[in-house]
């Protein structure tokens, strides 16, 4: 299946790394990041289903095969284990493969290669074999798609030692984090919030002065509650902060950016001030990344917490049909309800146990 696509990528007249900010969609910023990585390092090769002639079902690789050739932008047979396994072999020869998995729900055939090979080869070989693979995965819901096209599989990867996991929430980070991921000598699972592909913002096409890949970002400052989000929900969290401000509540929003390792120092510093933590993600709650954040922050800031951390997440059901996804996905109101909860204000569970 493909989701609705449009053609809003950077195109052939792409800004050069030194040209100053241009307004781009998130998808366009990814395209530009790929372009610059391909230009900069001949070891970079792109692989995936429909990424060449078609330019990807979301057009993230649009124009790249035309400009860099089928040798560097490779349409592959339809087999995800094959794609990732072949990428491993390319690493042995010094390449830096950037793999596109067409949708979140199609990464599982590659899971064995990712978990038993990509994540472990450096450790297995005491550092002799590097796996500088970037695995790009459009993820998350909210686009009204059919089954397997809206999942948030990050917790499978963040629990896998040896992998790095990052995600972007806006065009600038799309560009920056993608280029850093490709340049990184570790394998990186690069999660792209597909419902934000068409978000537009100015992008500085340069890595100069960019924050490190591991760093979280405080995107809204506030003294009352810390709200941790990443990927598609950062925009929702910002909206929640605006809505809360109307109620006189100052929400500090942190965009996690790197999901493994996490920059907990930034979260910790915030929680030490606010004493209250809300975490939101689309992925199912049970064993989701929110659990790790809640557990780790409780461990580190126990004395500072005024309330137990609250998680506002997808429910522990398989991703539902499109007409129900609004009930599955954390939205503004559910996040605000979580904020009320950590503040001890009336909320949906007032008077109930737990």
Partner 1 sequence: MLRSHVHPTAVHERRETARTAAASGRADHDPAVRGDQLVQLLAPDGTRTPDPEYEPWVEDVDADRLVALYEDLVVVRRLDVEATALQRQGQLGLWPPLLGQEAAQVGSARVLRRDDFVFSSYRENAVAYCRGVDLTDMVKVWRGTANSGWDPFAVGMATPQIIIGAQTLHATGWAIGAVKDGTDAVAVAYFGDGATSQGDVNEAMVFSASFRAPVVFFCQNNQWAISEPVGLQAVRPLADRAPGFGIPSVRVDGNDVLAVMAVTRQALDRARRGEGPTFVEAVTYRMGPHTTSDDPTRYVDPADREVWAARDPLLRVERLLEREGLLDDQVTTAVKQAADSAARRMRAGCLGLTAPEPLSLFDHVYATPSSWLERQRSQYAAYLAMYEDGDGTAAQDGAR
- Which residues, 145 to 174, sit near partner 1 by CB under 8 A? 145-149, 161-162, 164
CA gap 6, 95 in Å, rounded: 31
Q: Hey, is 6 helix, strand or coil? A: coil
For position 295 contacting its own copies by CB under 8 A, the verdict is: yes
CB 182 within 8 A of CB 96: yes
Q: Which of 149, 170, 286, 304 is catalytic?
A: 149
Residue 214 in the binding site for partner 1 (CB under 8 A): yes
317 contacts its own copies (rule: CB under 8 A): yes
User: Is position 111 an interface residue for its own copies (rule: CB under 8 A)?
Assistant: yes
Tell me the closest approach of the beta carbon of residue 347 to ligand TPP, in angstroms: 40
* Per-residue DSSP letter, 121: H
Among 26, 32, 64, 87, binds partner 1 (CB under 8 A): 87
Under rule CB under 8 A, residue 162 binds its own copies: yes
Q: Is the Cβ of residue 83 or residue 240 nearer to ligand TPP in the bound state?
A: 83
Q: Which does 159 bind (CB under 5 to 8 A by kind): partner 1, its own copies, ligand TPP, none?
A: its own copies
Q: Which of residues 255-314 bind partner 1 (CB under 8 A)?
A: 260-265, 285-286
User: Minimum CB separation from ligand TPP for residue 111, in Å?
Assistant: 11
Give me the least distance between CB of 119 and ligand TPP, in Å please.
16
Nearer to its own copies, 73 or 88 (CB): 88
Task: Kindly state whether residue 308 participates in binding its own copies, applying the rule CB under 8 A.
Answer: yes
Which CB sits closer to its own copies, 139 or 175? Answer: 139
CB of 332 to its own copies, least distance (A): 22
Q: Give the rounded distance of the alpha carbon of 244 from its chain centre.
A: 25
> Which CA distances in Å does 47 have to 3, 65, 239?
20, 10, 36
Torsion of CA 81, 87, 88, 93, to 10 degrees: 160
Cα separation values, 196 from 16, 134, 219, 232, 337, Å: 24, 20, 17, 6, 24
Q: How far is the CB of 168 from ligand TPP (least distance, A)?
A: 23
Question: What is the DSSP code string of 143-205?
Answer: S---TTSS---HHHHHTSTT-EEEE-SSHHHHHHHHHHHHH-SS-EEEEEEGGGTT-EEEE--
Tokens of 295: 């557990």
Among 325, 339, 342, 343, binds partner 1 (CB under 8 A): 325
- 109 is a contact residue toward ligand TPP (CB under 6 A): yes
- Closest listed residue to residue 159, CA positions, set 213, 115, 108, 216: 115
Nearer to partner 1, 33 or 52 (CB): 52
User: 264-274 and 289-301 are packed helices; what angle lies between their axes, rounded to 10 degrees?
Assistant: 60
Closer residue to its own copies, CB minimum distance, 45 or 297: 297
The whole-angstrom separation of Cα 329 and Cα 336 is 14
Which one of residues 1, 223, 265, 349 is an interface residue with ligand TPP (CB under 6 A)? Answer: 1
Token pair listed for 187: 């394998």
Annotated catalytic residue 281: no
> Using an 8 Å Cβ cutoff, are 31 and 203 in contact?
no
């Amino acid at each position: 299946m493909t989701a609705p696509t449009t053609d809003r990528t950077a195109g052939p007249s792409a800004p050069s790394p030194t040209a100053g900010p241009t307004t781009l969609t998130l998808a366009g910023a990814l395209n530009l990041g790929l372009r610059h990585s391909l230009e900069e390092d001949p070891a970079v090769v792109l692989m995936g289903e429909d990424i060449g002639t078609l330019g990807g079902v979301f057009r993230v690789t649009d124009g790249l095969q035309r400009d860099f050739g089928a040798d560097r932008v490779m349409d592959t047979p339809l087999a995800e284990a094959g794609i990732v396994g072949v990428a491993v072999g390319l690493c042995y020869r010094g390449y830096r493969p950037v793999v596109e998995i067409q949708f979140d729900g199609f990464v599982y055939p590659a899971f064995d290669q990712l978990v038993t090979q990509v994540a472990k080869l450096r450790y297995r070989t005491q550092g002799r074999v590097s796996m500088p693979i970037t695995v790009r995965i459009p993820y998350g819901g909210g686009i009204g798609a059919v089954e397997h096209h809206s999942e948030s599989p990050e917790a499978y990867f963040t629990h896998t030692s040896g992998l790095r996991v990052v995600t972007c929430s806006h065009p600038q980070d799309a560009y920056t984090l993608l280029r850093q991921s490709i340049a990184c000598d570790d394998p990186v699972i690069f999660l792209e919030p597909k419902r934000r592909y068409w978000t537009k913002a100015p992008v500085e096409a340069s890595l100069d002065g960019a924050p490190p890949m591991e760093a979280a970002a405080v995107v809204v400052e506030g003294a009352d509650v810390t709200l941790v989000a990443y990927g598609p929900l950062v925009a929702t969290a910002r909206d929640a902060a605006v809505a809360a401000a109307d109620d006189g509540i100052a929400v500090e929003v942190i965009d996690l950016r790197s999901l493994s390792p996490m920059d907990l120092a930034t979260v910790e510093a915030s929680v030490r001030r606010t004493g209250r933590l809300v975490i939101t993600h689309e992925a199912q709650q049970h064993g989701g990344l929110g659990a790790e954040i809640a557990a780790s922050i409780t461990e580190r800031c126990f004395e500072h917490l005024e309330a137990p951390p609250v998680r506002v997440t997808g429910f522990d059901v398989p991703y539902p049909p499109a007409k129900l996804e609004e009930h599955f996905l954390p939205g503004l109101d559910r996040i605000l309800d979580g904020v009320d909860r950590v503040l001890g204000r009336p909320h949906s569970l007032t008077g109930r146990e737990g």
